[in-house]
């Protein structure tokens, strides 16, 4: 049966650790993997804009000897022209895998149901699994033992937060989520992460109190308004101001590093000072997107 990579939910910790080791090997020894996707073609269907995901998949697949066809659903007027299922069935006639960035998670489920080849989630409203895997690779490169690390996510509870919670809970990494009131993570995903944490030993905690980020090893943030959220910035700016990630927060919590999936909004959710400072892991995260995704592709296709 074909496998997909839609959420990382219910994935075995051993398989996630295997993907992290594979990503690290691909990063260290690219020539050993240069032909792993020889003759393979991947379709990338994007309903939303992307810089990192699009470029890292395209260049990454090329480095593995494969080929990517990019489809911009909006500017090519593909959305609504035929059903997503019909698109998936047609992609499966030519492609070996489908990468998709969509507004709704259900779209990925429909695509998967109609496709005979693996579907990889390149971001949806609920999850950003490729980002999450790259971020745990980045953490593993900076800490010897993920079970001794506490990641504090500060800001809007969103798709990136969900993936950090899911993967962290399975791997045994402690995750504290700090959000303003009304911007919490999904109850279902928090409960799922807490259940997984009982098995892995991770501590999973959600709060509205920024002081509870104290003692974290890493502070992570993301945009206050995700793609597809049309709330005017002026409506939420004051509420989020106390959750800005800045040098004062890094100093107060004692965190060693700062992370952000990007695109970053300088001097809104995160200050330029910390993006460009010595504690920043942002570009290491961006580089690792490619290696993590290549590990996923090699695992699913090679």
Binding interface with ligand CP (CB under 6 A):
50-53, 123, 131, 261-263
| Closest residue by Cα to residue 84 from 63, 101, 59, 61 | 101
Closer residue to ligand CP, CB minimum distance, 122 or 216: 122
Question: Which residues are near ligand NVA by CB under 6 A?
Answer: 123, 158-160, 222-223, 226-227, 261
Q: What is the spatial distance between Cα 179 and Cα 260, in angstroms, rounded to a whole number? A: 15
Q: Which helix (H) or strand (E) holds 207?
A: strand 204-207
Question: Which of the choices ligand NVA, ligand CP, none does residue 159 contact, using the CB cut-off of 5 to 8 A by kind?
Answer: ligand NVA
Query: Would you say 151 or 261 has its CB closer to ligand NVA?
Result: 261
Query: For 141, how many CA atoms within 13 A lie in the half-sphere containing its CB?
Result: 20
> Of the two residues 196 and 269, which places its CB atom closer to ligand CP in the complex?
269
Active-site position among 52, 162, 222, 260: 222
Which of ligand CP, ligand NVA, none lies near 51, with the C-beta cut-off 5 to 8 A by kind? Answer: ligand CP
37/67 Cα distance (integer angstroms): 8
Is 222 known to be catalytic?
yes
Bridge-based pairing of strands 97-101 and 41-46 is parallel
Instruction: Between 115 and 131, name the residue whose CB sits nearer to ligand CP.
Output: 131
- Verify whether residue 289 is a known catalytic residue: yes
Q: How far is Cα 27 from Cα 293, in angstroms, rounded to an integer?
A: 11
- Cβ atoms of 35 and 62 closer than 8 Å: no
Instruction: Respond yes or no: is residue 261 known to be catalytic.
Output: yes
Least Å from the CB of residue 158 to ligand NVA: 4
Token couple for 158: 């969103």
Tell me the closest approach of the beta carbon of residue 285 to ligand CP, in angstroms: 8
**Active site positions, annotated:** 101, 128, 131, 222, 261, 289
């Amino acid at each position: 049966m074909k496998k997909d990579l839609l959420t990382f939910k219910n994935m075995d910790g051993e398989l996630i650790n295997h993907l992290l080791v594979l990503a690290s090997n691909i990063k260290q020894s690219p020539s050993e993997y240069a032909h792993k996707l020889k003759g393979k073609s991947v379709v990338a269907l994007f309903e939303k804009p992307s810089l990192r995901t699009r470029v890292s998949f395209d260049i990454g697949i090329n480095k593995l000897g494969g080929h990517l066809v990019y489809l911009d659903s909006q500017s090519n007027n593909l959305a609504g022209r035929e059903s997503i299922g019909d698109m998936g069935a047609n992609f499966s006639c030519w492609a070996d895998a489908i990468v998709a960035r969509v507004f709704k998670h259900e779209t990925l489920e429909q695509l998967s149901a109609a496709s005979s080849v693996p579907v990889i989630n390149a971001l949806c409203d609920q999850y950003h699994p490729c980002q999450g895997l790259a971020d745990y690779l980045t953490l593993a490169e900076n800490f010897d033992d993920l079970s001794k690390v506490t990641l504090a996510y500060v800001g809007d509870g969103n798709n990136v937060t969900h993936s950090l919670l899911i993967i962290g809970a399975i791997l045994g990494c402690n995750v504290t989520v700090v959000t303003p009131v009304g911007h919490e993570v999904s109850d279902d995903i928090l409960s799922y992460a807490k259940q997984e944490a009982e098995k892995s030993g991770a501590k999973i905690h959600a709060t509205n109190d920024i002081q509870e980020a104290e003692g974290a090893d890493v502070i992570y943030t993301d945009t206050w308004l995700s793609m597809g959220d049309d709330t005017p910035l002026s409506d939420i700016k004051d509420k989020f101001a106390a959750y800005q990630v800045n040098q004062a927060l890094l100093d107060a919590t004692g965190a060693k590093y700062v992370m952000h999936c990007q695109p970053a909004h300088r001097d809104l959710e995160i200050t330029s000072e910390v993006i460009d400072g010595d504690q920043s892991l942002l570009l290491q995260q961006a580089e690792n997107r490619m290696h993590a995704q290549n590990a996923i592709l090699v695992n699913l296709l090679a």
